Structures are given as structure tokens and as C-alpha cells.
A = this chain, B = another copy of it.
Amino acid sequence: MNTTQLLDRLSGKTDKLSKSDLKVAAVVLRDPQAAIHQSIAKLATEAGVSEPTVNRLCRKLGCNGYPDFKLKLAQEISRGSHLFSENMEASDDTRTVINKILSSIEQSVNSIGQATSPASIEEATDLLMSSKSIYFFGMGASGPVALDAQHKFARFGIPVVAHTDFINQRMMCSMLTEEDSAVFISYTGRTKAIVDNAELATKSGARTIGLTRSGTPLAKHCRVVVNAVTAEDTDLFTPMTSRIIHLALVDILATKMALQLGDEVEKNIKAIKTNLQSTRS
């Protein structure tokens, strides 16, 4: 799902726009806010072209007609991402860098909202809740995510461990039982080491859950897959959004679980909070 396009593409850099298309684009770009409140007729007149020309441009840009174009444009403007999800440039000032990063995060967060199926979350939490113990496995950028998950799930009173070390992971995977859950975290879903470990865990009978893009090798070796997709795939910035997405998914799982466990958890949390007070200055 491409999240940022219209205003960029209207500039004509990525698409081959005809003379008339550019006339329309110029009008829209001059005041996008105004454009979304205009009818196709007004816009066409203002740009000095015919209505079908405007309509054709909309379709060329991937929209389903003019109203759809207005809708998408409105969204793009409101989320402030007209700022871009083009890439960073060395000339960007700090404020711009901040905005670009934050808006790319927002976009990814938004997109998993749509990509995540409630069913998969439910399946995953069902497995986790009834487990004797839970293991999180992640390597590289996903290592910290696994550790974060460990920290988060620790409050539930079920034994939780995260492993980021290949050998340790392997050891654990071969020892898992039908009552253990193993969560494998990987953005690419293609890291051999983690795929092999997931396969091993599944063979051991464990309840394997993949936090990864569905359709990848890792996904194939997991009982349940929680789909983690991002739009962007830039050299420099790929790992950024992927972690945030993984964390968000972990949050969702943990929250769902907390809600289902109910009172028990709250008691744990209160106890933890009380004991943490003394560590504060």
C-alpha cells in the first residue's frame, strides 16, 4: 500500500505527465487545500483544460476517479505528509528531518492498522495465554524488540525469556514443548538463522508465532503469523519503521493479553509499581 504519492507525483518527477496534465498539476500544487473543495469542472476551467483531462490525470495517479483523488489528497494534506516521504537530503534542515521521520513513522503505524487482522492477534494471544512459558527470538535490529517484549510480558506472571544469540536460540528451540510459545521476530522473514530456528521449534512441537511479513520463509514455518508490513524500503531507513511496527504489534499482543487476564495482571502491576517507587529520586 503506497502511502504517499499524489503531491509528489504531481510534480512530474516520477511520472510522465503531458502538457495538459502539468497545467492541472500546477493549479493543484499552488493550493492543494483549495483544490479539494472544487468540482472537477472548476478545476478544469482554472487549469484551462477539459474535464476528462482532469479525470484522466486522476486515474494516471492511481486514483479511482476525481472524487477519490480529492479524498486521497485531503488525507495527504491533513496528515502533513506532504512534507514527503521522499528521501532525506543532506540539505534538509533539522526541523525537516524531524518531520520526515515522524511522518514516516505515522504512516507505517497507520498502515499496519489496516494490514493487521484481528483474527491473527486473537490466535496469537490464545496461544500465548495458555502457555507454560514464552520465548521471544530476534536478531540484529529485532534483538532489542525481543528484549522489549520480554520486559513487557514479564508482568503477566508467566515465565518469559528473550534470546538474541543464535546458539542460545538454537538450544532453546530444540528443547521446547507443546506447552511453550515461541515468538520469532524478523522484518525480512528471510534471515536464515531465524528461519532455521523457527523450523526447529515447530518440529519440537512448540506453538510458533511469527512477527513477520506474511508469505516469507519464516512465516511458512510458524503456526500463527502476525503480519508486519511496511511500505517504504529505503536503503538508509528501512530498519527504522520496521522496529516501530514490531513494537506496536508487541504492544497490541501484550495489551490484548492483559485485558483478558484482567485482575491478576493489575495486581502484578501494582506490586511492581510500588516496589519501583524506592528506586526513584
Interface range on chain A (Cβ under 8 Å from partner): 35 or more
Residue contact B118 to A255, C-beta cutoff 8 Å: no
Copies of this protein in the assembly total 2
Interface residues of A in 74-97 (CB under 8 A from B): 74-80, 88-90, 92-95, 97
Interface residues of A in 224-247 (CB under 8 A from B): 235-237, 239-240, 243-244, 247
CB distance from A64 to the nearest CB of B (A): 9
State whether A151 and B147 are in contact (beta carbons under 8 Å apart), knowing that A75-B74, A90-B259, A109-B106 are contacts in the complex: no
Contact among B106, B152, B256 with A97 in the assembled complex (CB-CB below 8 Å): B256
Interface of A is mostly: helix
A78 to B114, CA, bound (A): 12
Of the listed residues A102, A116, A239, the one surrounded by the most CB atoms of chain B closer than 10 A to its CB is A102
Cβ-based interface call for A192 (8 A): yes
Residues of B within 8 A of A106 (CB): 80, 106, 109-110
List of B residues within 8 angstroms of A143 by Cβ? 147, 151
Which A residues have a C-beta under 8 Å from some C-beta of B?
A: 33, 36-37, 67-68, 70-71, 74-80, 88-90, 92-95, 97-99, 101-102, 105-106, 109-110, 112-114, 116, 118-119, 121-122, 140-141, 143-145, 147-148, 151-152, 188, 190-193, 195, 217, 235-237, 239-240, 243-244, 247-248, 251-252, 255-256, 258-260, 262, 265-266, 269-270, 273, 279-281
27 contacts across the A-B interface (CB closer than 8 A): A33-B114, A37-B68, A70-B71, A71-B71, A75-B77, A78-B79, A80-B106, A80-B109, A80-B110, A88-B258, A89-B259, A94-B119, A98-B118, A101-B251, A101-B252, A101-B255, A102-B110, A102-B252, A105-B248, A106-B109, A144-B148, A144-B151, A148-B243, A188-B280, A193-B279, A195-B281, A236-B269
